């Protein structure tokens, strides 16, 4: 049909319409709307329509919801939005109490997605409310808790471990089983372990009112660091005595002692090996153990060494049993390494969640572990509450009421003790000789420092790499490619010791003796409503100071909705990123 014919037809139709009355035009409009507007999705069977909508991202689903009531109902289906939550990396279980919505509602997962988006945007805009809690009588040393809930555990030099409900800002329980200060905590689904300067580790059964399951003794000095495998079978501990011990959580037996550091083992972290991130459900997961020390180095231990590695490390006189081997040594920090953090992109997070849906034992076949069943101040602060002593909720304590003499006493037993090498005991004569270092990589000391802008993307080294962050008493934070040992970036945003840092797939947080709580946005700027695949981010990543206080900040815990920090004065600083009405 030619253009002239179409234009002639339209002219005739327009002439006819002009002759119609207002009532006739209205009837014609209704007729045309009914016959020319075809809602194909609404005409399809519900299962088929739902399947077609699964191919849309969250942004387009939101647009479809605005078309008609029928499409709104179809595009609000719980199965669709549960899938969108999973694709975006949002938790769908163990949700914070701030999301108070009927879980039987037809739009439950749509509302949950909206809730997570609001929280994410508040992080990006640094919108939060600040709560100050008088938590302990002495300095807080460690914080443990779930990534998604409101319950946290704090350890202190006052020898206690306290359990807190952040949403209600209340102390649920206080555990007083150590004879010296508590330095470290690690939390599993049913197990809590605490390490203390009394040289012991206490394993609590969370499911049985925090009853003591085991008290582990063996270290010659204070316990500084702990980590645990995801299935709560194996516990790793680091101490001022320079050793790492490996424990069977079920029996309380010490399985191995690892030697390799020349100073206090101040931080431990267990992460899956790159090859195990794509394993089948039938296969067992393999791990690297990463340790940081006062000797300024980071060691990566292969818990599943190959036969070739074993033959190159073991001396002829060594026993036939195979032990974890040093896979990589990372050097560059000029003072003690204080903390480590693993960067998990969204794909790794999803695969880890899938793997851990059906429990399987940690694969450390060489040890036969479980042969017998014998962890610039922000201007956008919305709210700041008064300092509260939650052991006595009726009393309000102003910060000025803490006298200087008390603070001075607290700082005599403070976080700096873990950097004091004078507390390292002399080695006993019957200790096992440390294994030799791995063959020197000549490129190790000449790593390129990519401190200029650099983008790590899907098509670059990112797809096979595992990234970790380390922080140190030298005030720097460094980023490493664990598979190559390459130093990717070093930044110095703090002016004093960086005591703790934590990261997830999109952000990094750090705290320091300089009193600053800092936040770094790691992920790219793609719209949040678009499900993420492989993450990418730019280096360097700018730091934002969320808060600055007069006391040193010693530890932190970052969840989806909270950033909780502990100070040398026993105060918890809780930044909440979901603003309640």
Q: Which residues contact 18 (CB under 8 A, 6 or more apart)?
A: none
CA atoms within a 13 Å half-sphere pointing along the CA-CB vector of 351: 18
Predicted pLDDT of residue 535: 41
- DSSP designation for 371: S
Report the C-alpha gap between 89 and 87 in whole angstroms. Answer: 5
Report the C-alpha gap between 377 and 126 in whole angstroms. Answer: 11
Report the C-alpha gap between 319 and 316 in whole angstroms. Answer: 8
At 251, list the tokens: 């029996």
At 556, list the tokens: 């932190």
Is 459 exposed, middle or buried, given 0-12, 13-18 or 19+ CB atoms closer than 10 A?
A: exposed
CA atoms within a 13 Å half-sphere pointing along the CA-CB vector of 471: 26
For residues 301 and 227, is the Cβ–Cβ distance under 8 A? Answer: no
Report the C-alpha gap between 229 and 289 in whole angstroms. Answer: 10
Report the C-alpha gap between 183 and 158 in whole angstroms. Answer: 10
For residues 215 and 189, is the Cβ–Cβ distance under 8 A? Answer: no
Q: What is the CA radius of gyration of the chain?
A: 28
Query: Which of 504, 510, 446 has the alpha carbon at shortest distance from 478?
Result: 510
Predicted pLDDT of residue 406: 35
CA 273 to chain centroid, in Å, comes to 17
Helix (H) or strand (E) holding 172: strand 170-175
Report the C-alpha gap between 340 and 336 in whole angstroms. Answer: 12
Fold of 3-76: Monooxygenase (1.20.1280)
Q: Which residues pair with residue 130 across a beta bridge?
A: 384, 575
* Domain pair 3-76 / 129-274+286-307+322-353+367-374+465-525+532-576, same fold: no
CA 370 to chain centroid, in Å, comes to 28
Predicted pLDDT of residue 43: 73
Q: What is the pTM of this model?
A: 0.74
Predicted confidence pLDDT, tens digits, the chain (581 residues): 567 777 777 788 888 888 888 888 888 888 777 666 666 777 778 788 888 888 888 988 998 888 888 888 888 999 999 999 998 888 888 888 888 899 889 999 999 999 999 998 999 899 999 999 999 999 999 999 987 778 999 999 999 999 999 888 899 999 999 999 999 999 999 999 999 999 999 999 999 999 999 999 999 999 999 999 988 999 999 999 999 999 999 999 999 999 999 999 999 999 988 665 544 444 556 889 999 999 999 999 988 765 544 444 343 333 334 578 888 899 999 999 999 999 876 444 545 444 444 333 333 332 333 333 333 333 333 333 333 333 333 322 233 233 333 333 333 466 677 776 555 554 443 333 344 444 444 333 333 343 333 344 444 444 457 889 999 999 999 999 888 888 988 999 999 999 999 988 788 999 999 999 999 987 644 333 333 333 444 555 778 999 999 999 999 999 989 999 999 999 999 999 988 76
Place of tokens 């947080």: 509
- For the chain, give every domain's residue range: 3-76, 129-274+286-307+322-353+367-374+465-525+532-576
Predicted pLDDT of residue 317: 37
Report the C-alpha gap between 334 and 476 in whole angstroms. Answer: 9
Query: Which of 260, 257, 258 has the alpha carbon at shortest distance from 297?
Result: 260
CATH of 129-274+286-307+322-353+367-374+465-525+532-576, one of 2.130.10.10, 2.20.25.240, 3.20.20.70, 3.90.1720.10: 2.130.10.10
Report the C-alpha gap between 126 and 128 in whole angstroms. Answer: 6
């Amino acid at each position: 049909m030619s253009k002239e014919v179409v234009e002639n037809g339209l002219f005739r139709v327009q002439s006819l319409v002009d002759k119609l009355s207002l009532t006739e035009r209205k009837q014609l409009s209704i007729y045309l709307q009914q016959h020319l507007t075809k809602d194909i999705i609404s005409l399809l069977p519900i299962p088929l329509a739902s399947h077609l909508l699964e191919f849309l991202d969250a942004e387009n689903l939101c647009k479809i919801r605005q078309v008609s009531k029928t499409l709104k109902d179809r595009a609000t289906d719980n199965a669709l939005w549960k899938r969108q939550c999973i694709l975006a990396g949002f938790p769908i279980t163990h949700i914070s109490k701030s999301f108070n919505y009927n879980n039987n509602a037809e739009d439950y997962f749509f509302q949950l997605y909206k809730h997570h988006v609001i929280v994410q945007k508040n992080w990006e805009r640094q919108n939060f409310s600040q709560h100050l809690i008088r938590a302990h009588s002495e300095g807080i040393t460690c914080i443990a808790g779930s990534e998604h809930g409101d319950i946290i555990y704090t350890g202190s030099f006052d020898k206690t471990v306290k359990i807190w409900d952040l949403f209600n800002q209340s102390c649920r329980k206080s555990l007083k089983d150590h004879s010296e200060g508590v330095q470290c905590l690690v939390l599993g689904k049913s197990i809590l372990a605490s390490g203390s300067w009394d040289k012991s580790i206490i394993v609590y059964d969370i499911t049985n009112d925090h009853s003591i399951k085991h008290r582990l003794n063996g270290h010659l000095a204070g316990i500084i660091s702990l980590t645990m495998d995801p299935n709560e079978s194996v516990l790793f501990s680091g101490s001022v005595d320079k050793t790492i011990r490996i424990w069977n959580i079920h029996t309380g037996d010490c399985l191995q002692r690892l030697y390799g550091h020349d100073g206090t083992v101040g931080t431990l972290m267990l992460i899956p090996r790159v090859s195990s991130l794509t394993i089948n459900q039938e296969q067992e997961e393999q791990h690297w153990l990463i340790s940081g020390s006062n000797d300024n180095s980071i060691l990566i231990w292969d818990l599943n060494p190959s036969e070739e590695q074993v033959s190159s490390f073991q001396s002829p006189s060594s026993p036939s049993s195979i032990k974890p081997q040093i896979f990589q040594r990372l050097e560059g920090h000029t003072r003690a390494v204080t903390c480590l953090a693993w960067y998990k992109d969204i794909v790794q997070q999803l695969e880890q969640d899938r793997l851990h849906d059906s429990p399987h034992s940690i694969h450390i076949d060489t040890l036969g572990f479980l042969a017998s069943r014998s962890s610039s101040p922000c201007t956008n602060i919305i709210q700041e509450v008064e300092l509260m002593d939650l052991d006595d909720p009726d009393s309000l304590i102003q910060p000025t009421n803490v006298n200087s003499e008390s603070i001075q006493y607290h700082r005599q037993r403070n976080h700096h003790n873990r950097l004091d090498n004078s507390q390292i005991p002399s080695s006993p004569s019957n200790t096992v000789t440390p294994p030799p270092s791995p063959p020197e990589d000549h490129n190790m000391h000449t790593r390129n420092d990519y401190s200029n802008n650099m983008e790590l993307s899907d098509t670059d080294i990112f797809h096979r790499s595992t990234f970790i962050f380390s922080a140190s008493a030298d005030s720097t934070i460094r980023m490493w490619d664990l598979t190559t040992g390459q130093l990717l970036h070093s930044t110095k945003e703090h002016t004093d010791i960086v005591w703790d840092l934590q990261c997830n797939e999109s952000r990094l947080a750090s705290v320091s003796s300089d009193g600053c709580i800092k936040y770094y946005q790691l992920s790219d700027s793609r719209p949040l409503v678009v499900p993420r695949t492989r993450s990418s981010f730019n280096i360097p990543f700018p730091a934002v100071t969320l808060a600055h206080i007069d006391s040193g900040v010693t530890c932190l815990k970052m969840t989806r909705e909270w950033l909780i920090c502990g100070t040398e004065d026993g105060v918890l600083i809780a930044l909440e990123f979901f603003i309640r009405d």
